Structure formats: structure tokens, C-alpha cells
């Protein structure tokens, strides 16, 4: 439902969005760095409040400081509070108290779950469900990144509206990018170039990706793999590559990259490999790869099950299966016309994930939530 935001301008102007420190490197920070300027171009007055320890002067007592400062912040009057937790123990407690504070002031609340820890979700079902319903059940709307999360909230008794949303791609990354030039380069090079770009954690498929390249080398198929990112598995991954002679010239570690360096990495590689079996919401890196016309090899996790068309946009592979990854790359290596077709399709499909479109969706969710809140107040 499209809502005329103008009609809310006079009565429902101020919205407070609670975020982590936006100069950090996390997915939520990157989301709002791309979306905030566009939200502020709308008819609402958008304000932000930072939680977490990254920008706190009192590291040890930052949870108490967050709650105290939030209490002072909302005293100035807001029409809506928008929280951005993950479903984990830390956010469950912190944002639960924030919800209670906002509702005590009569302020409607939207909860946008960016992450979803399935182990913690089991704990909610086992013994925290009454508390979840009593606190989070007061929220006026929810936003989630996957239909499975929406279904889970419904099974927990949530009656409020639940919206499916995606993460976003910063449209500023695409200056000068041409998908047809990318395809031409792919046809001209001998070795396909693979890119893995994510936080380096074992459950995100980094070792399966490396093993797939090793298997291809054993089949006398030469590909080049660039690994971009940092994290707890980086040293182990580098040592693993160094221990395999056949990979020394095929695998390159780029470290953490952002901005133009990240744009160049997406533009100059042919296939994006992200065989993650981690508890993903909607991996931004996959959306970025699609927007840069990259066929994607990944697993059906989180929101990818909703937006990824297996066989059309790339390939879903089983978790922990480097042979399946290698087989898929070999198939694409033998049929670069198929790669070109997928590249063009993904480039067009991903336009819906660009920041302006995602910002518009959020603004409409704000308007719908305020409309429902207004009706409930009148009925009372």
C-alpha cells in the first residue's frame, strides 16, 4: 500500500532512528550510511541516536549511558522510534528496555531485525517467549530480511504488521561502471576471476571457496580467487593457502576494502562466491555483486531464499560442499555465454536494491505505521 507521506507532515514529523556507530564497519552501519541522506530528503524529520560502545567515552558503563541518554532524547518529542537490533542476547536486553521506554512515553515503535541468531531464536522458543511477547510484542511494526523470520514471529504470536525488506546497495559505488565492458573483459581473459568479499569467518564459507579452487587446479582448470575482508579466520585462511603449492599464484588476499577499492573489486571479477551457512539476514555483499553484474554462487540462507533465483542469477550450492562449488565454476568456465546472460540479468534485477528504492520503502513503512497508530488512538 502506498501512503501519501505529505498528509502526515504536520502531525507526525519527527522520527528517531536508533543505530550503531555509523563510522563502524558493520552491515547496519553501512546500510544507514547509504540510506540516511535519502531518508532526510523525505517529508519526515529524521534524527538518529547511537547505541553501543564504539563511540562511547565510558566503555564499561555504556549500556547504562545508552539507556539514560535515550530517555533524555525522547523527552523532546518523537512521533516514532525505529530500532535496529539483531535477534541475539545483547540486543534482546538492550532494545527491549528501549522499547519499554518509548512505549511508556506513548511513542510507536518499529523493530527492524537485521540479524537473526538461530541458536538464540531456539532459546526464545524454549523459555523466553513470554518475555518476548510482553516486551517486543508491544512494538507497532516489525521489519525482517527473510520470510522465514516473518513466519517465526507469527508463530510466536506477533500480531503487528511485519514487513519484508532488503539491505541496500550504495548507488554511489557505480560511477562509471558499464556491464557490457565487464562482459567483454570476461570473454577476453583466459582465467575466470572469482571474488569472495565478506567478514572472514569459517561459517561464511571461506575455506570451502579455497578448497573449490584447489579442486579446480587438480582438474587442470585455472581460475584466480581474490579474498577481500578481515576477521577471525583470516590468519588461518592465509596459512591454509600457503600450505598448498598449487594455490600460491591463484589466491590473493586483499584485506578489508571499502569505497572505490570495493567497487573496483566487484567490477574486475567475474563470479562472486559466498557459500555461507552462517545465520545470515540479507548479505549486502550478494546484493552488491548482483548490482555489478556478477553471477553468484551461494547457499540458500536467510533472505537469499526470497530474492535469489537459482539457475537464473547464479547457483545455490549445498553448505560445506567445495565439490559443488568447483562443479558450478567449471560449468560456467565452459559456457561464458551463460555467464554473460546472467550478468545482464543481475545488473537489471539489482536496481530494486539501490539505496533510493530502499529508502522509499522505509518511508512508506513509517507512514503506514503512523497511520495505524493514529487510527488506534482515535478508536481508544
Distance, in Å, from the CA atom of 30 to the CA atom of 25, rounded to the nearest integer, reads 7
More confident residue, 172 or 78: 78
- Give the H/E segment covering residue 81: strand 80-83
Do residues 90 and 123 touch, judged by C-beta distance below 8 A? Answer: no
Neighbouring CB atoms inside 10 A of 326's CB total 24
**pLDDT of res. 231:** 94
Distance, in Å, from the CA atom of 115 to the CA atom of 85, rounded to the nearest integer, reads 7
pLDDT category at 376 given cuts 50, 70, 90 is low
Mean pLDDT over 50-67 rounds to: 77
Do residues 87 and 113 touch, judged by C-beta distance below 8 A? Answer: yes
- Residue in 150, 274, 302, 167 with CA at minimum distance from that of residue 212: 274
**pLDDT of res. 380:** 54
pLDDT category at 62 given cuts 50, 70, 90 is confident
Distance, in Å, from the CA atom of 303 to the CA atom of 150, rounded to the nearest integer, reads 11
Q: What confidence tens digit (pLDDT) does each residue in 295-332 have?
A: 999 999 989 999 999 999 999 999 999 999 999 999 99
**pLDDT of res. 331:** 97
Phi/psi of residue 14, each to 5°?
Answer: -100, 130
Mean pLDDT over 129-156 rounds to: 97
pLDDT category at 13 given cuts 50, 70, 90 is confident
Q: What percent of the chain lies above the pLDDT cut of 70?
A: 93
Distance, in Å, from the CA atom of 378 to the CA atom of 380, rounded to the nearest integer, reads 5
**pLDDT of res. 199:** 92
pLDDT category at 378 given cuts 50, 70, 90 is low
Q: Name the 3-class secondary structure at 145.
A: coil
**pLDDT of res. 11:** 43
Mean pLDDT over 150-174 rounds to: 94
Please determine, for residue 377, whether its predicted confidence score (pLDDT) is greater than 80: no
Please determine, for residue 12, whether its predicted confidence score (pLDDT) is greater than 90: no
Q: What confidence tens digit (pLDDT) does each residue in 273-295 have?
A: 999 998 778 999 999 999 999 99
Q: What confidence tens digit (pLDDT) does each residue in 130-141 have?
A: 999 999 999 999
When the pLDDT of each residue in the chain is averaged and rounded to a whole number, the result is 91
Distance, in Å, from the CA atom of 75 to the CA atom of 83, rounded to the nearest integer, reads 17
- Measured at the CA of 143, the angle between CA 139 and CA 148, to 5 degrees, comes to 115
pLDDT category at 41 given cuts 50, 70, 90 is confident
Mean pLDDT over 85-104 rounds to: 96
Cα–Cα distances in Å, from 60 out to 9, 57, 189? 40, 9, 53
Distance, in Å, from the CA atom of 215 to the CA atom of 235, rounded to the nearest integer, reads 22
Distance, in Å, from the CA atom of 189 to the CA atom of 94, rounded to the nearest integer, reads 51
More confident residue, 357 or 4: 357
Scanning the chain, the segments in alpha helix (DSSP H) are: 27-39, 62-74, 89-104, 118-123, 129-135, 147-155, 179-188, 206-218, 234-242, 259-267, 284-291, 304-307, 322-334, 336-349, 355-379
**Three-state helix/strand/coil letters over 251-279:** EEEEECCCHHHHHHHHHCCCEEEECCCCC
Please determine, for residue 249, whether its predicted confidence score (pLDDT) is greater than 50: yes
Mean pLDDT over 20-36 rounds to: 88
Q: What percent of the chain lies above the pLDDT cut of 90?
A: 82
Please determine, for residue 8, whether its predicted confidence score (pLDDT) is greater than 70: no
Phi/psi of residue 239, each to 5°?
Answer: -65, -35
Low-confidence winner among 55-59, 68-72, 236-240 (lowest mean pLDDT)? 55-59
Q: What confidence tens digit (pLDDT) does each residue in 213-243 have?
A: 999 999 999 999 999 999 999 999 999 999 9
Amino acid at each position: 500500500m502506498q501512503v501519501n507521506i505529505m498528509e502526515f507532515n504536520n502531525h507526525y514529523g519527527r522520527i528517531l532512528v536508533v543505530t550503531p556507530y555509523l563510522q563502524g564497519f558493520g552491515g547496519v552501519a553501512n546500510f544507514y550510511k547509504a540510506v540516511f541522506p535519502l531518508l532526510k530528503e523525505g517529508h519526515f524529520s529524521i534524527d538518529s541516536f547511537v547505541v553501543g560502545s564504539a563511540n562511547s567515552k565510558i566503555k564499561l558503563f555504556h549500556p547504562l549511558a545508552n539507556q539514560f541518554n535515550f530517555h533524555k532524547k525522547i523527552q523532546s518529542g518523537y512521533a516514532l522510534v525505529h530500532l535496529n537490533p539483531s535477534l541475539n542476547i545483547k540486543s534482546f536486553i538492550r532494545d527491549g528496555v528501549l522499547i519499554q521506554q518509548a512505549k511508556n512515553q506513548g511513542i510507536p515503535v518499529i523493530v527492524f531485525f537485521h540479524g537473526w541468531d538461530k541458536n538464540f531464536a531456539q532459546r526464545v522458543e524454549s523459555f523466553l517467549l513470554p518475555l518476548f511477547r510482553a516486551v517486543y510484542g508491544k512494538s507497532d511494526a516489525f521489519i525482517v530480511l527473510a520470510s522465514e523470520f516473518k513466519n517465526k514471529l507469527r508463530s510466536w504470536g506477533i500480531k503487528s504488521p511485519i514487513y519484508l525488506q532488503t539491505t541496500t546497495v550504495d548507488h554511489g559505488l557505480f560511477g562509471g561502471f558499464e556491464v557490457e565492458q565487464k562482459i567483454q573483459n570476461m570473454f577476453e581473459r583466459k582465467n575466470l576471476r572469482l571474488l569472495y568479499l565478506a567478514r572472514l569467518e569459517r561459517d561464511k564459507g571461506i575455506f570451502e571457496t579455497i578448497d573449490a579452487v584447489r579442486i579446480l587446479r587438480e582438474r587442470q582448470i585455472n581460475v584466480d580467487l581474490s579474498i577481500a575482508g578481515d576477521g577471525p579466520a583470516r590468519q588461518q585462511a592465509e596459512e591454509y593457502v600457503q600450505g598448498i603449492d598449487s594455490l600460491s599464484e591463484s589466491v590473493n588476499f586483499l584485506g578489508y576494502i571499502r569505497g572505490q577499492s570495493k567497487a573496483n573489486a566487484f567490477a574486475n571479477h567475474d563470479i562472486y562466491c559466498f557459500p555461507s551457512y552462517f545465520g545470515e539476514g540479507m548479505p549486502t555483499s550478494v546484493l552488491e555483486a548482483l548490482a555489478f553484474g556478477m553471477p553468484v554462487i551461494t547457499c540458500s540462507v536467510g533472505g537469499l531464499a526470497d530474492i535469489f533465483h537459482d539457475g537464473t542469477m547464479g547457483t545455490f550450492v549445498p553448505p560445506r560442499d567445495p565439490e559443488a562449488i568447483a562443479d558450478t565454476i567449471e560449468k560456467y568456465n565452459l559456457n561464458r555465454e551463460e555467464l554473460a546472460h546472467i550478468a545482464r540479468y543481475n545488473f537489471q534485477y539489482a536496481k530494486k536494491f539501490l539505496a533510493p528504492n530502499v529508502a522509499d520503502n522505509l518511508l512508506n513503512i513509517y507512514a503506514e505505521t503512523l497511520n495505524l497508530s493514529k487510527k488506534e488512538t482515535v478508536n481508544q
